[in-house]
A and B are shown apart, each in its own frame.
Chain A
Amino acid sequence: MELEAQPFVINFGPSHPSTHGVFRLRTILDGEVIVDVEPIFGYLHRGIEKLAEGRTYVQNIPFTDRLDYLASMTANHGYVLAVEKLAGIEVPERAEYLRVIMSELMRISSHLMAVGFLTNELGAMMTPLLYMYREREKILDLFEMVCGQRLTYNYMRFGGVSHDIPREFLPAVKKFVREMPGFIDEYDQLLKENEIVLARTKGVGILPADVAINYSVSGPMLRASGVKWDIRKDDPYSVYDRFDFDIPTGSAGDIYDRYRQRIEEMRQSVRILEQAIEQIPPGEVCTKVPSLLRPPKGEVFARIEAPKGELGYYLVSDGSIAPYRFRVRPPALINLGVLRYMSRGWKIGDLIAIFGSVDICVAEVDR
């Protein structure tokens, strides 16, 4: 007699240690093999876009901190850029450099968390992650020095940044920049040729370049698939056109490439930081902008290269003190669109690793 196997449904989450927040994966399994995956969102939906329509432009800066809380500085950066473009505000040079320094520090910190949690998902519970927390702490200390906060910075303003850096900040960044390449080497020693990491990640969850582009994937995931596309280079904003840095790309587009991609990007961020702290000019850090800003009627779409991908803001102004429409293009939500493509046919343990390699922050996905 032949027994028939029927596919069955398993819910991962909403509260599951590997889901980086409150998030559900509805998986359909045939034995251990994944037939289909459907991500289910909304458990952290706070209606930020709706709330923002009732608040002034300045009051919305703290909201952007709460989108991707592992990369609040870059979220700030994207929003102030959009409003500056809309209202035609000039930014002093020193402030642009400060923004770049903060954004690159933030990128390193976010990538550290991405790689750390990925190793967690591969079964290396906590040890590599805590190594990475060690360096992230240093970055958070730097941010605390600048704005007194460690998670939600609210540092950037229209026309600059909220206040100048203290005297001891640049030497501290210099020290960090000097030490960081050594720490990255240390992670490489731990993970790069680790047998288990290789076995779990090489050739798993492959994302070809054409699929990545079709699904609007952005950021390290897109580049790991071999597409040389970085908004810092291809559509430069702030003062990124003044720095000399490379865009690393992967070739296979598997989990291993995505992990390598983030490591290589950290090295490039260190390079940008080195140049930025050499070049930073003295001067003003903020132009005078009325606190009840009324941008002229119109609309704007500004995008930046956030650590997780392309972060865009689409703002519509009707000439009043509050935005008529406040839309965030969340990189993590759109990157999740390929999860189904990448994980079909793999085992359930691989699903966790593939999901980890996407690097999401649910607060940004749900908004």
Chain B
Amino acid sequence: MTKPLIGTEVAEKIEEHLPGAVVEAGENSILLNSESVLDICRFLNQTAGLDFDYLTNLTAVDYLDYFEVVYHLVSMKHNHSLVLKARCFNRENPTIPSVTSIWGGADFQEREVYDLLGIRFDGHYNMKRIFLWEGFQGHPLRRDFL
């Protein structure tokens, strides 16, 4: 069985390495400061004992007050998993650092989030729409898109 790591325990390790990066740590997930996503992901990817080498799922949810980007990480080495979250409060021009430099698998998924929810990923080499055509107005998966 893939063992879900306890969010609070991992959050302590992150806090030791990068103070101020964690906003809130729960049982099942860790809410991150959106500016330090890339540093934390690199830390989780390269720290022995954590070794999150596989990004299973990257998506985002529109909660109207903010966007929440969700990362489902898995370590194939240790067979454990972790859920990360980060919030973007700027509705006009939400941005968050891209994690493509760590996991290549983020490439299409980040483009999909940009296309359907309009969150820009800073540092993505090819940040353009993936399903809809260039020139399409709006981002359909936003809750206020009609």
Contact = CB atoms under 8 A, between A and B. Distances in A.
B90 to A, nearest CB: 20
Contacts of A329: 56-57, 59
B116 A49 contact: yes
A280 interface: no
Interface string A39-51: 0011001010110
Given A50-B140, A312-B72, A366-B131, A324 B61 contact: yes
Given A214-B53, A216-B105, A334-B108, 4 more contacts: A314-B57, A314-B59, A314-B72, A334-B109
Nearest to A40: B130
Interface string A209-230: 0010111110000000001010
B54 A42 contact: no
Nearest to A333: B108
B105 A217 contact: yes
Interface in A174-227: 211, 213-217, 227
A325 interface: yes
Contacts of A227: 76
A215 B130 contact: no
Contacts of B1: 234-236
Interface residues of A, number: 34
A314 B130 CA distance: 20
Interface string A331-367: 0011011100000000000000000000000000011
Contacts of B105: 214-217, 334, 337
Say which size band chain B's interface belongs to. Answer: 20 to 34
A171 B53 CA distance: 45
B107 interface: yes
A272 interface: no
A41 B72 CA distance: 24
Closest 3 CB pairs of A and B: A216-B105, A42-B131, A235-B2
B43 interface: no
Nearest to A334: B105
A86 interface: no
B108 A50 contact: no
Contacts of A42: 129-133
Contacts of B103: 214-216
A314 B131 contact: no
B66 to A, nearest CB: 14
A301 B76 contact: no
A85 interface: no
Contact of B61 (A47, A229, A325, A336): A325
A327 interface: yes
